[in-house]
Structure 1
């Protein structure tokens, strides 16, 4: 039986024990609203590492307070937040996994109520309730959210500086890799898309202009972190609507990202456009995998695939057929934090990945392997 899923992978100076990676998933669990990680985050992320993941990437983490999707997001704009992340990194490492963090700015989709526990999940947060002014490439609102303010060039410079400062803190906290969030309709994706970027200056217009901010952030972060540290970018390879950011444009952007020192691209989709009535995204098992396969085939960039890759054999198939270099398993890990251990046993891999404290429970499966 093939075991591509269990094979290590090396990016720059980092070797990750397998290709089962947990992607960033928003938790909205900073009750204090100060961006500081809590015991919840320690337990949450540590469980995935203990459960056999090769790498665990923390949720979208705001590089500035105004860059959070909701006040309950993690942040990394000050040193107190950095110190609260150190124990999480140490715990992930103690279970043999690599620790990553996704740095993000939510742009026009910031300042919203979290997905649960509030009267209007996902709606713009009123100023009286702690909301703030949002920013974007152009003053175009997303769906029913509040209209954002278009960033001027000084504001763009501040965004770049914020990503760099957070990346430096991530290095200081001990993270092994950094991912820049340029997907799902957040700020860097908003600049890439002709639907949300209608600027007439050097940050708009043709694709090279719309990609300028992302490439500036990549260059600045790449220059601020150790040479041997992998730098990743998450993109939405298509917006699923005519006239939006699409796979052809994504292919060119990924090529540029490789030229600017990015080591892997995580391939997602959508998040920046409201679909026309009657239109549907073809959501189903592995529905985004063809996007990853296209980018892997048409660029020299290693890619990770994500999106309803729920079973070990499905994930193994994606790798064995050359559609991706890494598989990211999200919601399945939420349902079963030992998903990586189960995958290793299902593929008849090395039972050593099972912590000794758990081997009594896995003994019968280990014998079968």
Structure 2
């Protein structure tokens, strides 16, 4: 009898365990959690009622939103627990003047490379070449990867409440990450709720909007694990490379962010030394939601600021083209009347007064040359750039 009794108990336990594993994470409704019919609620409902687009990439379905009619495009990239509508307050604001794109990362995607392929396919479908990128948390990490891999396509970059390539996150979560595959989805969901209630919401001044919106985003165990794999997927960022350095960057942070360690915030600013930095005070990890007006103002100012590297490059382009075409008028647009040219030849430094240089241009006439900018720095009103002239029949000149 006892053996039969224990057998029944054992079978019952197995059924309970299986039941726990197959129970999906609970889904909540924003309207039920946020019954207030204010502008936040109305704007979210209007935005979610808009049509999204679908595209299948290597058998994986991507859902994204594309709107606005501006000449410039902003790509918004959500964080680890987000979706395309996480950015609704920014999209509504900026699609008045820009084309905007926001996607939901499919739960099957588990690496930076796969993420990038999906993004590039969406951009190709929408016929977009160059763009601004705004990423938050995991999205800010993805934005950095895009800056590293396709810098020539990115005009401006915003890294919000995020972290640089690092070992810290993987090291601190080594044990947890090994346990994750064995935890039921409902348990992972409950742990997320605990973090929400104990850390995220208090840091955001107990925002009711944030408390209602975040749980309304769909969640799955597979999604959580694969997105964690993305944030620990390391890549090399050479921030001193000219193609990367010339991209205007804005780092947005919060002084009480409960999800980004202060050490990582400092590492991020150290990595991108020439970036602008804006620090929110006591707004937590999601300032674009609970402090959206201020967040939007910060983005507007950044987007409307001239890229000083572009201005210098226009001057250098006058130099390149003026020299190749022997066009003195165009060359004079690049130099002051008292300028000197410094160049190297046979490991020797040559100093050439500008008038002597003009005389040589007149004498030599039109020249075939491959020109490029090797590097450059701008400090205040002072710009220091190194350029390269490669003549087919003459030595290479670096100036």
Same fold, judged at TM 0.5 (above): no
User: Higher relative contact order at CA 8 Å, sep ≥6: structure 1 or structure 2?
Assistant: 1
Larger fraction in strand: 2
TM-score w.r.t. structure 1 length?
A: 0.30
Identify, as 1 or 2, the structure richer in helix.
Answer: 2
TM-score, normalised by the number of residues in structure 2: 0.28
- Which structure has the larger Rg? 2
